[in-house]
Amino acid sequence: MELTIALFFFTLACAVCIQLFVQAHTLNKEAAAVSEAQTICSSVADEYLAGNMEADELIDRYKGDYDIVLIEQLDGSLSSLDISVCDKESGETFFSLTVSKHKRLEVTEE
């Protein structure tokens, strides 16, 4: 009888431990995805602010395991880019970032 009770508690403790490991693994995968999304957003923002590439070129350069959504808005000399990194399967947005820059004005001599 005592052995059955001990075995029951051991089984219960094992089940709780397995649930904790599964939950930790899931959280680790989500944290890794968010971290990678932040890195992609930061890289895209840096390239955009440097003026090296247009939005379409940025999507081609950074496409991979995630969908990258870029929305460019122009307001006079102010140019803004909304960057979102989403999961390809679920469409869940992992990270979003908005950057703005002023376009250079050309000075002409008369």
Q: Is residue 57 part of a domain?
A: yes
Q: How far apart are the first and last CA of the chain?
A: 102
pLDDT digits (tens, 9 = 90+) for 4-54: 999 999 999 999 999 999 999 999 988 988 898 899 889 888 888 887 777
Q: Is residue 44 part of a domain?
A: yes
Q: Are 48 and 79 in contact (CB under 8 A)?
A: no
Q: Is residue 78 part of a domain?
A: yes
Q: Is residue 51 part of a domain?
A: yes
Q: Is residue 107 part of a domain?
A: no
Q: Is residue 39 part of a domain?
A: yes
The helix (run of H) or strand (run of E) holding residue 12 is helix 2-50
Q: What is the pTM of this model?
A: 0.71
Q: Are 58 and 34 in contact (CB under 8 A)?
A: no
Band of pLDDT at residue 110, cut at 50, 70 and 90:
low
Q: Which domain holds residue 73?
A: 2-102
Number of domains the chain is built from: 1
Q: Is residue 110 part of a domain?
A: no
Q: At what angle do helices 2-50 and 55-62 cross, to 10 degrees?
A: 150
